[in-house]
Chains A and B, each alone.
Chain A
């Protein structure tokens, strides 16, 4: 199957539709036209740039370039996790814990999927490694960000109750157990919901893209299943690691609740 090429002027037509939407938004005073246009421009610029990077990367197939790309993606995701938290841990701990838990889960699951399941040669072939890691990191980032935000916010709101439990002689784990469970759950629920709705309510973007690009639906479905399962594993372990590390950091060696460690 041959894929129909897209010319820039054809994308321009799609952009014109966005402009039309912006004009309508202006006419009914929705007030979103500015952010709409800025976001549209960002999409074009960012994706074009990443296209150039990927073209260059796919041409080299050198491990150190792939690793550098993966590291850059990880650090940007770490920054994003920190940015999305209303109250985060001070002194780089918020960034550190978020990045470490994403690294542990996303990289482990991606590498395992590449070496054991898909098996390209070499295993770090960028056509497979980079998109897979990207999807993994993107979803893990959301899961970790939601759960850490929930953890710190709830701990802040319920700090008096947590200390009330400490006063009764409970360990720090007992004192924060409900909040911790709640935070982990809220990080994992969106992924679980996405799995439950896949194919029935929504056609996942990756699969749709693959079909548009000429793959047979049967193969696209298999890749989509693989990706969804691995994403769930990555999000799950990332959330577990992040919440476990961050909740430990909320207490000191004397098991005191240290709200001064949040900003």
Chain B
């Protein structure tokens, strides 16, 4: 399924149209405050916005909010936790395998307050994909990770994205990461989206 934005406008951003094909990773960069997170929030329908968003033939407004967010999964830069232990945040009916993220299985039993920011970030990605979405919006998914963990998470994400053929918008700052994962690269600048061609900038 592809993710399609038609004349989507939120806040100061100029209306933009985009189509992200199944399995395609669109990397989004731009200075902080340029509206990257606002854009992702609008696509997930967390903020009021103009224009329309489609998942293949289904328009955002034709299904309920929770149903849409169940399909189009936004993983925020800073993860939120509301129960005592990690495990309670995951669906109860499924075994979780954390080994691919470089985390120990017993971490599921530990209290959230004892996790490092890197562990929280990895666990929030695992939590977001525990119930399979149909499209993925990643807001700096490796911001708090060291180079080794970053590589591991990238590999895990790329594998999952290819296996499920999700259309993905991936907010990233590191040019090397963008070069590694992006199918296309766009930059948000002066309230506009510009495509950055490969090889330059």
Interface residues of chain A, those whose CB is within 8 Å of chain B, are 158, 160-161, 163-172, 178, 252-257
Interface residues of chain B, those whose CB is within 8 Å of chain A, are 44-48, 61, 64-67, 69-71, 73-76, 78-82, 127-128, 131, 133
> In the complex, which residues of chain B have a beta carbon less than 8 angstroms from the beta carbon of A252?
48
Contact of A168 among B48, B65, B67, B127 (CB under 8 A): B127
A169 and chain B: residue at smallest CB distance: B70
19 more A-B contacts (CB under 8 A) besides A158-B82, A254-B65?
A161-B80, A163-B46, A164-B79, A164-B81, A165-B80, A166-B69, A167-B69, A167-B74, A168-B69, A168-B70, A168-B128, A168-B131, A169-B69, A171-B64, A252-B48, A254-B45, A256-B46, A256-B48, A256-B65
> In the complex, which residues of chain B have a beta carbon less than 8 angstroms from the beta carbon of A161?
80-82
- Given A254-B45, A256-B47: A169 in contact with B67 (beta carbons within 8 A): yes
A9 to B22, CA, bound (A): 88
Cβ-defined contact, A167 with B46, below 8 A:
yes
> In the complex, which residues of chain B have a beta carbon less than 8 angstroms from the beta carbon of A171?
64, 66
A252 and chain B: residue at smallest CB distance: B48
B127 and chain A: residue at smallest CB distance: A168
Contact of B131 among A169, A254, A256 (CB under 8 A): A169
Q: Which of B61, B65, B71, B74 has the most CB of A within 10 A?
A: B65
Q: Would you list 27 pairs from A and B whose C-beta atoms are within 8 A, ordered by A residue?
A: A158-B82, A163-B46, A163-B76, A164-B79, A164-B80, A167-B44, A167-B46, A167-B76, A167-B128, A168-B69, A168-B70, A168-B73, A168-B127, A168-B128, A168-B131, A169-B66, A169-B67, A169-B70, A169-B71, A169-B133, A171-B66, A253-B65, A254-B65, A256-B47, A256-B48, A256-B65, A257-B46
> In the complex, which residues of chain A have a beta carbon less than 8 angstroms from the beta carbon of B69?
166-169
CB distance from B149 to the nearest CB of A (A): 22
A169 to B134, CA, bound (A): 12
> In the complex, which residues of chain A have a beta carbon less than 8 angstroms from the beta carbon of B82?
158, 161, 164-165, 178
> In the complex, which residues of chain A have a beta carbon less than 8 angstroms from the beta carbon of B61?
254
B48 and chain A: residue at smallest CB distance: A256
> In the complex, which residues of chain A have a beta carbon less than 8 angstroms from the beta carbon of B44?
167
CB distance from B104 to the nearest CB of A (A): 23
> In the complex, which residues of chain A have a beta carbon less than 8 angstroms from the beta carbon of B131?
168-169
Cβ-defined contact, B65 with A255, below 8 A:
yes
A103 to B76, CA, bound (A): 42
CB distance from B10 to the nearest CB of A (A): 12
A170 to B127, CA, bound (A): 13
A165 to B79, CA, bound (A): 10
CB distance from A35 to the nearest CB of B (A): 41
Cβ-defined contact, B80 with A163, below 8 A:
yes
A167 to B61, CA, bound (A): 16
Cβ-defined contact, B127 with A255, below 8 A:
no
Cβ-defined contact, A256 with B76, below 8 A:
no
- Given A255-B64, A256-B65: A166 in contact with B46 (beta carbons within 8 A): yes
> In the complex, which residues of chain B have a beta carbon less than 8 angstroms from the beta carbon of A165?
80, 82
